[in-house]
Structure 1
């Protein structure tokens, strides 16, 4: 039996978990590509522009065939707001990756579900019981352990990483305003165009002519990002969300290993402790959501 046949024969939850672990690995690889380009002196604006441009290219044949159907929508303002939040999160994340260890940025990024709970309660008037509020507060305390406000260790890049997590949360909340019929292709298309428009000016101002190696890395950032997003969609469509979602935390392992192998980065005690608190609180929230029979938020672009 071929490898594809053996994979198809797996339980759907195991297939979904496999897709999620693959996505987590690819996202970590994307972080390595971004850091490599940043170490070469390339601005995060130029990297963000390339990420959106090369992610858009595979979509163009479908957009031309359908007459740019994603822009004929009943929710243009929601699409625009979500795209701007996603683009802001991407550029903030790329800036953070250029300045901070890969594992640290990844750990802070896992606070986005906590921000989502707060925003859902405020903007969508969702009911949040005291257990979820308590777990959310504990998760934010874990973030404070990592960021350590008021200490000499606090850097603007850490605030950018927090901004990345908040931007992703805003995008998730806005996705919840769409009907289920709204396509993922439309969301990705709006994200790419918004990112290109936001990054184009600063990217051109700070433009650095890429070497052949850097061109390969820039193309990789775009295509790898799209591949990771497609894997996440496959993971959620194949397995149960409550079973599949926790495997996203394998990104912490991948980020730690790749950060050490490529950049000799060793997470400090504060990063490890804060990450453990954030993951534990998120696991508890996911467990409560499963018990209450609530679906988890849909996947969104993470850069």
Structure 2
């Protein structure tokens, strides 16, 4: 006898639990990168994070062998690698400069930049409610940064650039998944990004300690687990259901930042992050509603 299928409410709960697990995985990535800190040059840390994570891609080799790689695919792949390499390098730098909560909250802007990129680069149409949601998200970013009321650290600017570069990477990924299996797209990114970073990493190479290698290996492991959990969450429930759960990641970040690194709890970061997530959740809900009609 086959196992009974999950009801819609049960699938939604399962999706939310997978999303909660994802938030914890991604915050653990931040914690481990924070522990590496300034012990290694930023570009070397980013390079080793991807290099050590290649072991997790072995299961995708079968799918990769079946793909016929065209010049267009290679062009998109290396274009994405450039964006992703920039994003990762800026993110690693930001983690050494500003609190974890601010890194997480500013990274929430990523879907907003993706929306703007789709409009500016691909000519997608945008309605007034979506524009208003983008305005709310932008105001949320200003609440976090508070320009004019405090000094803007280079880490803040680096994190904003990181979120923009991640948006470019994901926009290209959206084109690639129309031609390749998702596992192959992830494999190509994970192989090409260290190739892009390597020449710059070796310019200021420092021999990493075993402790630093272990931290970066577990960084790669948690990142892989987080992406897997996110995929499972989206398979179980609509994005409009699970997207708001991402806000929990900010709670994890602020809590771990306070407990492990003595970082102050900034209510403006939580408020700004809540505004950004509310805007993203509204956009996600609206898109899901449009598809259903």
TM over 0.5: yes
SS of the counterpart of 2:176? coil
Q: CA deviation at 1:69?
A: 5.0
Q: What are the ranges of 5 or more consecutive residues in structure 1 without an aligned counterpart?
A: 295-303
Q: CA deviation at 1:140?
A: 0.8
The 5-angstrom pairing of residues 163-182 of structure 1 reads: 163-178=161-176, 180=178, 182=180
SS of the counterpart of 1:11? helix
The 5-angstrom pairing of residues 1-303 of structure 1 reads: 11-39=10-38, 41-60=39-58, 62-63=60-61, 68-69=65-66, 72-73=69-70, 75-149=73-147, 152-178=150-176, 180=178, 182-293=180-291
Q: What are the ranges of 5 or more consecutive residues in structure 2 without an aligned counterpart?
A: none
Maintained 8 Å contact 1:87/1:194: no
Maintained 8 Å contact 1:87/1:191: no
SS of the counterpart of 1:182? coil
In the alignment, the residues of structure 1 paired with residue 81 and residue 289 of structure 2 have an alpha-carbon distance, to the nearest angstrom, of 32
Report the more deviating stretch, 129-138 or 187-196: 187-196
TM-score (norm 1): 0.86
Output one character per residue of 1:18-42: Cα deviation in whole Å (capped at 9) or x when no partner: 1111011010001010010015x21
Maintained 8 Å contact 2:63/2:184: no
Maintained 8 Å contact 2:37/2:96: yes
In the alignment, the residues of structure 1 paired with residue 148 and residue 171 of structure 2 have an alpha-carbon distance, to the nearest angstrom, of 30
SS of the counterpart of 1:75? helix
In the alignment, the residues of structure 1 paired with residue 150 and residue 194 of structure 2 have an alpha-carbon distance, to the nearest angstrom, of 35
Indicate the residue corresponding to 1:301 in structure 2: none
TM-score (norm 2): 0.89
SS of the counterpart of 1:86? helix
Matched length: 289
Output one character per residue of 1:73-126: Cα deviation in whole Å (capped at 9) or x when no partner: 452212222222222211111111111100100000001111111111111221
In the alignment, the residues of structure 1 paired with residue 150 and residue 244 of structure 2 have an alpha-carbon distance, to the nearest angstrom, of 33
Report the more deviating stretch, 88-97 or 198-207: 198-207
In the alignment, the residues of structure 1 paired with residue 267 and residue 60 of structure 2 have an alpha-carbon distance, to the nearest angstrom, of 48
In the alignment, the residues of structure 2 paired with residue 232 and residue 122 of structure 1 have an alpha-carbon distance, to the nearest angstrom, of 27
Q: 1:28 to 1:291 in 2, by over 3 A?
A: same
* Aligned CA-pair RMSD: 2.6
Q: 1:61 to 1:279 in 2, by over 3 A?
A: closer
In the alignment, the residues of structure 2 paired with residue 216 and residue 119 of structure 1 have an alpha-carbon distance, to the nearest angstrom, of 36
